[in-house]
Every structure is written in structure tokens, then in C-alpha cells.
Amino acid sequence: MSRYGRAKSVSGFTLIEVAVALAILSWVLGSTLYVVQQYADERLKLRQGFFATQVSWNRLLERYQDSQGWVPTTDRSTRQTRGVEDQIDQSWRWQMEIKSAMGEDLYRYEVKAGPEKSDRFSGVLALYLVGKPGS
């Protein structure tokens, strides 16, 4: 029997097969980490937007109560159009713009809010009310 007559059976993977498998695995893991990071970032943005909108809503609710006469006149005159409010252990800055709208004694109240340390606003709400501001 000749030495070259029988083929050797080789078991296992070649170096190229292992390298391709590792490249595919690293691509899948990298993509997974990227998606998880994007999800975490979006959760933080949504949370920030929710609390900023809550701060805006609080300011608009005060103005609504004023317009309905639920608050004494002396308290109405001290209302501010900008400030800082604490919400969930974080400070939120807000500012309100009051503009005359179409119609008699109709005013548009717009409140923007965002984290105190940020120069951007995360939440904006607007409300139309009848009656002069502060009256």
C-alpha cells in the first residue's frame, strides 16, 4: 500500500473559516451594542422631554387658574415669565411668552422648559386664554 493512496481525514476548521466567523460575530455584537446605546439615549431624551413638558404644564395651569378667577388678584400680579423649578431632583429653567392672538382679549401663552444647565429647551406647550394677562 502506497503512502499517498489513502486520503487523510482532517477534522476541524481552517484559519480562514475561524477568521470569517470572528468577523461576523464582531459585526453582530457591535451592531447590538449600537442599538442598545441608541435605545438608552432615546429613553433619556423622552424622560427629559416628559419632565420639561410637566414644568411647562405647571406654569400654564397657574395662568389658567388666574384667568378663571380661582387665585386672589394680589397673587396674580406677582406671576413671573421666567424662572427655575425643581422637578424630580433636577432644576428646570422655563420661560413664558405671552402674545396677543386674534380676537378680543384672546392671548397665547407659550412656555418653554429645559434642564437648567442646558441652553436648549426640551419641552414646549402653548395655551390660548381669554382675558388680559395679570388681570
Q: Is residue 1 part of a domain?
A: no
Q: Is residue 38 part of a domain?
A: yes
Which residue type is seen at 46? Answer: L
Q: What is d(CA 25, CA 36) in angstroms, rounded to the nearest whole number?
A: 17
Q: Is residue 3 part of a domain?
A: no
Residue 31, domain extent: 15-130
Predicted TM-score (pTM) of this structure: 0.73
Q: Is residue 114 part of a domain?
A: yes
Q: What is the pLDDT of residues 13-42, one digit of tens each?
A: 899 999 999 999 999 999 999 999 999 999
Q: Is residue 2 part of a domain?
A: no
- What CATH number is associated with residue 65? 3.30.1300.30
Q: Is residue 135 part of a domain?
A: no
Domain count for the chain: 1
Q: What is d(CA 26, CA 37) in angstroms, rounded to the nearest whole number?
A: 16
Select the highest-mean-pLDDT range: 14-28, 65-79, 98-112.
14-28
